[in-house]
Amino acid sequence: MKVMATRFSLQIIILFLFYSCSNHGQLVYVTKLPKSLKENSGIATYTNDAAWFIEDSGNDDDITKVDYQGEILKEFKVKNAKNHDWEDLTEDKKGNLYIGDFGNNDSDRKNLVIYKLPNPEYETGDHITAEHITFKYPEQKHFPAKKKERFYDAEAFFHYNDYLYIFTKNRANPFTGESLIYRVPDAKGDYDAEYLGKITTCDDWDTCKVTSADISPDGKTVVLLGSGKLWTISEFDLENLPESTLKETDLMVRTQLESVTFIDNSTLLLSDEETKKEGRNLYKYTLK
């Protein structure tokens, strides 16, 4: 009887591990995010026990702080800003927070903007005020772009040394896997985005579109996120990123992963949208 019980317990453990791995792949589950963040699209961190989130088009003009138990700790209405299509969050070394309002599915927008906010960790009340960094892609000549030239949607950016680096989401038909790289200054103003070149992730439409990006605190590692894949760049010159080598990792999930940020130089926080009752989760991942 003891042998049978032991075998039964082992089977239960194996089934549990299989279930966990099949649902979250290589990602470590942290918590379920609040229902109000069903369409979360950007994440940024200031502490090791909570993160800030935004949602994309059609949702409120809010930033929301959530802890690792899935509880909302703080929320601000962003003044002087409108959620046309908020797609990513990033922060700088001074604590400023940036919202990328550059979602552009049909490559037809002429009102692309990044909102610059003061450090939300030290703000009080229920409102926070944004400055505007507006920009355009000089290489785009048609609005909307022709289907084979729809490279001007974006869901990914990070801050480094006074610049915001933007990686576009390829919506061209046929799909090429190319992501264009641009940068704009991090100061209030209106700019022509500086084109730095392009990189190619892979050729599968479902998993190879770039949905978020970040750079490690020490500035030595860049990560790009897709819907189930992660690309790591560890030896690079930011002004010459297209010459860098991408290391691809299959995260073994196929949920709509939308957000990634570094907690430290080797640990990532990731989140996904809720789709067909899957997702709306917060995860951790340690770089190999």
Nearest C-alpha neighbor of 114 from the set 167, 42, 164, 39: 164
Under the banding of pLDDT at 50, 70 and 90, the label for residue 154 is very high
Q: How far apart are CA 93 and CA 79, in angstroms?
A: 23
- The SS3 assignment for 3 reads helix
Query: What value does the mean pLDDT take over residues 135-158?
Result: 96
Query: What value does the mean pLDDT take over residues 116-142?
Result: 97
More confident position, 4 or 276: 276
Q: Is 128 a residue whose pLDDT tops 70?
A: yes
Query: What value does the mean pLDDT take over residues 49-59?
Result: 96
Residue 180: C-alpha distances to residues 76, 140, 155, 200 (Å): 32, 12, 12, 9
Express each pLDDT in 239-274 by its tens digit. 898 889 999 999 999 999 999 999 999 999 999 999
- Do 40 and 271 contact (CB within 8 A), yes or no? yes
Task: Compute the Cα dihedral for 93, 98, 104, 109 and give only its sign.
Answer: negative
Rg of the Cα atoms in the chain: 19
Nearest C-alpha neighbor of 250 from the set 282, 215, 218, 206: 206
Report the alpha-carbon angle 74-282-117, nearest 5: 40
- Do 45 and 51 contact (CB within 8 A), yes or no? yes
Task: Report the pLDDT value the prediction gives residue 276, as an integer from 0 to 100.
Answer: 85
Under the banding of pLDDT at 50, 70 and 90, the label for residue 216 is very high
Q: How far apart are CA 55 and CA 239, in angstroms?
A: 30
- The SS3 assignment for 20 reads helix
Q: How far apart are CA 41 and CA 193, in angstroms?
A: 22
Q: Is 20 a residue whose pLDDT tops 50?
A: no
Q: Is 17 a residue whose pLDDT tops 60?
A: no
Q: Is 98 a residue whose pLDDT tops 60?
A: yes
- Report the length, in residues, of the chain: 288
Task: Report the pLDDT value the prediction gives residue 7, as an integer from 0 to 100.
Answer: 53
Express each pLDDT in 23-42 by its tens digit. 788 999 999 999 999 999 99
Half-sphere exposure of 201 (CA within 13 A, CB side): 31
DSSP assignments along 150-173, one per residue: ---EEEEEEEETTEEEEEEEP--S
- Site of tokens 């930033």: 63
Express each pLDDT in 182-197 by its tens digit. 999 999 999 999 999 9
Task: Report the pLDDT value the prediction gives residue 3, as an integer from 0 to 100.
Answer: 44
Query: What value does the mean pLDDT take over residues 101-120?
Result: 97
- pTM (2 d.p.): 0.91
Task: Report the pLDDT value the prediction gives residue 277, as an integer from 0 to 100.
Answer: 83
